[in-house]
Chains A and B, each alone.
Chain A
Amino acid sequence: MLLNQFLLLSAFLFCTGIYGVLTRKHTVLVLMSIELMLAAVNINLVAFGALHNSPTDPGRVIGQVFALFVLTIAAAEVGVGLAIVLLIYRNSHSADLDDAHALKG
């Protein structure tokens, strides 16, 4: 297998996530697009880890370890993000980002 096929797949997923973040109006869908981008980055990290796969290379686990940390932080981000979404919904009775303009001057 070539390294490039994984990198191009992750680039496609990342750009799809960017499109979702820019076009979606509902807050939960924006969070989902951010998760899409984080998953794409994970594929990138693991593919580069698999590039250094010889049994004597001490760096052959680094890709996976980085991906595990990214996964952990993504889980924390979703927890706090959904709490904020609930707070926005409770205050403005809508989860649309267009309705969250209380900070606008």
Chain B
Amino acid sequence: MVAENVFFGIIAAAMAISALGVVSTKNVVHAALYLVIVLAGGAAQFLLLGQEFVAWVQVLVYIGAVIVLFLFGIMLTRAPMHPGETLGNDLRWPAAAAALFLAAILGSLFVKTWHGQKLHLESPVRTSEITNAVFRVYIIPFEIVGVLLLGALIGAVVLARRD
């Protein structure tokens, strides 16, 4: 039990620092690399929770595909990569106030509602259980999300091509 909490603390601290790096760094490529750390930390948290399938899907889809897309976007739009060029607008303090306000509301709600609620992780979820659920109970959402992905693919091609 203690070892799990130590691992959670280390990964959570790395994720929090990297998340602050994503929103505050002056270099666009560094922001993408900080995002990699946050997403990999999320996958590690899923492993700690005993939910390994979604952890590996997160590694494949997010770190493998989404980050590469982001790097493509950065390279194709000639983003500023030198310190000194400004990346933020002048809304820093109102935005910080809004984020802190929401964090206070969410934090107090969570602490009040789920105080002392323990997770009992005696049986990790097997991948076969998830596939059974996806292909039996949730087959219609699965088909719909397939059509949505096809629509997004065609839409991206139509938007981005030069004619």
Contacts and interface: CB of A to CB of B under 8 A. Distances in A.
Interface of A: 1-9, 11-20, 22-29, 31-33, 35-36, 39, 42-43, 46-47, 49-51, 53-55, 60-65, 67-69, 71-80, 82-87, 89-90, 95, 98
14 contacts: A7-B110, A7-B114, A14-B106, A19-B98, A19-B99, A32-B32, A36-B38, A39-B58, A49-B49, A49-B51, A50-B50, A75-B66, A76-B151, A86-B77
A64 B54 contact: yes
A43 B42 contact: yes
A93 to B, nearest CB: 9
Contacts of A43: 42, 45-46
Contact of B114 (A3, A78, A82): A3
Interface in B114-151: 114-123, 125, 129-130, 132-134, 138, 141, 145, 148-149, 151
Contacts of A33: 22-23
B125 A24 contact: no
Given A2-B117, A13-B19, A64-B53, 19 more contacts: A1-B48, A2-B118, A5-B8, A8-B107, A9-B16, A16-B20, A19-B23, A19-B99, A22-B91, A28-B73, A31-B73, A36-B35, A36-B38, A54-B123, A61-B129, A72-B145, A78-B66, A80-B152, A82-B69
Interface string B1-30: 100110010001001100110110000100
Contact of A24 (B42, B48, B88, B149): B88
Nearest to A98: B89
Nearest to B71: A28
B100 A15 contact: yes
Contacts of B152: 76-77, 79-80
A48 to B, nearest CB: 10
Nearest to A5: B8
